[in-house]
Structure 1
Amino acid sequence: MSLAAERMGRILPSQTIAITQKARALKAEGRDIISLSAGEPDFDTPDFIKKAAIEAIQRGETKYTDVAGTPALRKAVAERLNADFGLDYRPEEVCVSTGGKQVIYNAMVATLNAGDEVVIPAPAWVSYPDIVQLADGKPVIVPTSPEAGFRLTAEQLRKAITPRTRWLVLNSPCNPTGSAYSREELKALTDVLLEHPQVWILTDDIYAKLTYEGREACTVVQVEPRLRERTLTMNGVSKAYAMTGWRIGFSAAPVSLTKELIKLQGQSTSNACSIAQAAALAAVSGPQDFIGEMVAVYQKRRDLVVDALSAVPGLSCARPEGAFYVFVSVQQLLGKRTAGGHVLESDEDFVKAMLEEVGVAAVHGTAFLLPGYFRVSYATSTELLEEACRRIARFCEGLV
């Protein structure tokens, strides 16, 4: 008899993590592998942030903190949200968690009853539907189209909402497509949401600082302040500050919801690491100019990858507006056979064969709820990206 709870049968291991671990294992065996699967900046954490962590250790700040984070960090997060988006949150409306993923998990577990629905535009980050199902909710997946820039339309949202809808999860810029909603596109969605007072909005803004061509990053409460009392704004330090391993995410939401998040966190992980919180405080309250320097590098890498892969017969991809991913269509290549003899019946077959035959790790689109694509991360060096694109082209050219 299995010890696993019934709820564990509803979910799968994270497929992005699984592919990244597979690539690491092959590297450890001596294989020449280029991994474009992880959503992780290749930049080092800035020195002033690392210094803040070291100084916190030296001051003895290695004890428990408040469950919701240190008062200084909660205040700094509120000030950063105001500076970046003009959002007026108070420190008591902020909860600091162990990464953005815990913010989302806390929100779903704290609010969903069995059968409550959560609208998720697809393609979407792999963990959204699994977290919803762990919380006994029902993911309602709404496929978006490349013609709409992989963005949810107001008409689609209106059709997806039912009396059981509890949340809309909105991620902009989006993982895996890099699509970003304009102020006008968000306003069209918020107009629909104003018609449905039972629906809350979780806006995942983790890539909001990583946008290109001077594009403005918008968030829900900024566009429609009347939705403030039923919106959870989520962000963190992992992507914009190159701090993935520090594991700090944060939410800003009405006190009534924030109290429930803190209650749940107090009975699960309790506070996030005190040292990481000190580093995050330095990140959100310190100089921000280095982010623009990273974005400029990412934009050049984006163009390199998009131009190279778009030139490969059978592949196609849009030019992302944010984040650091390219979502590549392989629909024209499915059904073909690789030089190594693998038949490509699905996007998962494609990425598995590409890893095995040319040593490039990517994530298949089915993991992001949209088959027929694969995602590459360009958060790696220009030299590796150039070589990876050459290998992908060689792999595709060998198909028959």
Structure 2
Amino acid sequence: MGGDRIFVVVGAGLAGAKAAETLRAEGFDGRVVLLGEEDRRPYDRPSLSKGFLRGERGAAAPWVHPAEFYADNDIELRVGERVAALDRENRDVVLVSGERIAFDRLLLATGATARPLAVPGANRPSVHYLRTMADAEALRSAVDGAERVAVVGGGWIGTEVAASARRLGRKVALLERRGSPLQTVLGVRMGEVFRDLHAENGVELHTGVTVTEIVEAGVRTDRGLVEADLVVVGIGVRPRVELARAAGLSIEDGIVVGEHLETSSPGIYAAGDVATVRHPLLGRKVRVEHWANAHGQGPVAARNMLGHNVVHSEVPFFFSDQYDLGMEFRGVARPSDELVVRGDVDAREFIAFWLSGGRVTAAMNVNVWDSGQLLEALIAQRAEVSADLLRSAELPSLVRSLAL
């Protein structure tokens, strides 16, 4: 199946690697070209801010596939290759070198890049970001030589890096312009859970502050200087849409795709961090930046490149481990959603639900490990449920009753 057809994947991250794997698994016997800008084969990102950053035993490079996988499956993995342009008219991918690679189907899995800190001094050698494996390796070396670490940004990357640096014995300050870490994604009350967690583990918290400059002594804010000899910036990411925009594809927050992950240009698809799609369960367009989304969308895009018309409908999922708190988050919540909590927040053993219109839009289990599949089913069912039932009913019976 495929013959002399050429399928090109731009972006050798998780979504791109899983797409190439799926093309072969589905029997495609044409040419598969996987182009990666980094100088190494595809890898997973979640451990980069956790065990890999800390250099823990067993946290070796998190490769998606063994080194021999690509040759064994006749996948042309080309690392260190940057794409300069997409020639839609001639159906070519144009490399920086000038080489052109023709395609019959194209998948854009270009991912995202760290959002830069736009203040004076942000280009100092003491300033680090964490997006790639090379970033993690450089940051690990920098942490080894640092005494005081300042983390700018209280999102998932910022809080995980802060936790890792504390576990490595460094003095850590966490700077966040809102009232608590993770407030943007979890709301005030759940953000306070993580604020207290970091405070109890010795992190110096600076909330409600604005960073104005990076100086030799550390980070200057509108409330004074935070001393540090290493600064880590984690203020979010930007989808890498430059190629798609220059090629005239439809762009909103990311590359706009339909339910089959096809862009506004027939035969060109997008998946992973860069794709904005109307999610069938959520009923609105979303761009999800987490591991599970890339892991699921890559294979769906590959099957649709083969004409299978598959819809990606998995409930968005991610996890985080910080100190003794482990959590899993499913769904997508909005700040306006109602928060319902069951369990003991003070003991950090609880489940939080977000409700909109009486339906569960998201759920987070914290140090509760027997509920993941039930929470996913609860979100997927989109059935109306009361806050009282969420607080008190046994989850298995509740999910069964709502399915009827």
User: What TM-score do the two structures reach when normalised by structure 1?
Assistant: 0.31
Q: Which one has the largest radius of gyration?
A: 2
Query: Quick check: which one's strand share is greater?
Result: 2
User: What TM-score do the two structures reach when normalised by structure 2?
Assistant: 0.31
Query: Quick check: which one's helix share is greater?
Result: 1
